[in-house]
Amino acid sequence: MLKLLYPLVLILIIITSSCLKDGPWQKTEQAAIADYIKKDTAYVLKPSGLYFYQVKEGTGRSPVVNDTVYFNYTGRFLNGVAFDSTSTAKAPMLYIIGSGLIVAGVDEGLRYMKEGGFARLLTPSSLAYGKEGLFTLVPGYSPLMWYIELTKVKPGPGK
C-alpha cells in the first residue's frame, strides 16, 4: 500500500509546485496587458483572450478554415521593440487558416479581418509562445503585439 501511495504523493507535489511557479508570471502578464490597453481603448476582448483592434476594415472577404491568406506582419513586445517582421521579405507570408503553423492568436485574428484590412492583435502568451517562449527571441509568458495587413484571401479547396 505504501508503495502505491508514494508515487501519487510525488505526482501531487510536482503538479502543485508547477502551478505555484506559474501564478506570479501569469499575474505579471495580465497586469502588463491591462496597463497597455489603458492607453488604447479601441481593443475588443474576444472570448479566447485575444485583444483585437481593426485599424482599417478591408473590402474583400474574410478568411475561413482552409483558405490561403497572404499577409504582412510585425511582431512587437508591449514596449514597442520589434522581434519579427515580414518587412524585409520579398513577399507577404503565406498561411493556410486553421493549419496550426503560426501562433493561435494570429490565426484567430486573421479570421476577424477582411482582405485589404489592417489590424492590431494583442495576444496573451497563451495564444502565442506560452510559458516556454521562443528560443532566446521571446521570453516565456510574453504578451505580444501583432501589426497585420491582410493582402489576399484565396478560397480553400472546394470553395
Q: Is residue 11 predicted with pLDDT exceeding 50? A: no
Q: Is residue 59 predicted with pLDDT exceeding 80? A: yes
Could you tell me if residue 38 is inside a domain? Answer: yes
pLDDT recorded at residue 9: 36
Q: Please indicate whether residue 96 or residue 14 has the higher confidence score (pLDDT).
A: 96
CA distances from 104 to 4, 12, 28, 38 (A): 40, 30, 21, 24
Could you tell me if residue 71 is inside a domain? Answer: yes
Could you tell me if residue 133 is inside a domain? Answer: yes
Could you tell me if residue 37 is inside a domain? Answer: yes
What counts of helices (H) and strands (E) characterise the chain? 2, 7
User: Cell digits for 77?
Assistant: 513586445
Could you tell me if residue 66 is inside a domain? Answer: yes
The structure's pTM equals 0.83
Could you tell me if residue 150 is inside a domain? Answer: yes
Domain count, the chain: 1
pLDDT recorded at residue 26: 81
What CATH number corresponds to the domain at position 52? 3.10.50.40
Could you tell me if residue 159 is inside a domain? Answer: no
Give pLDDT tens digits for 115-126. Answer: 999 999 999 999
pLDDT recorded at residue 22: 56
Domain of 141, in residue numbers: 2-154
pLDDT recorded at residue 107: 98
pLDDT range class, residue 88, cuts 50, 70, 90: confident
pLDDT recorded at residue 27: 86
Could you tell me if residue 100 is inside a domain? Answer: yes
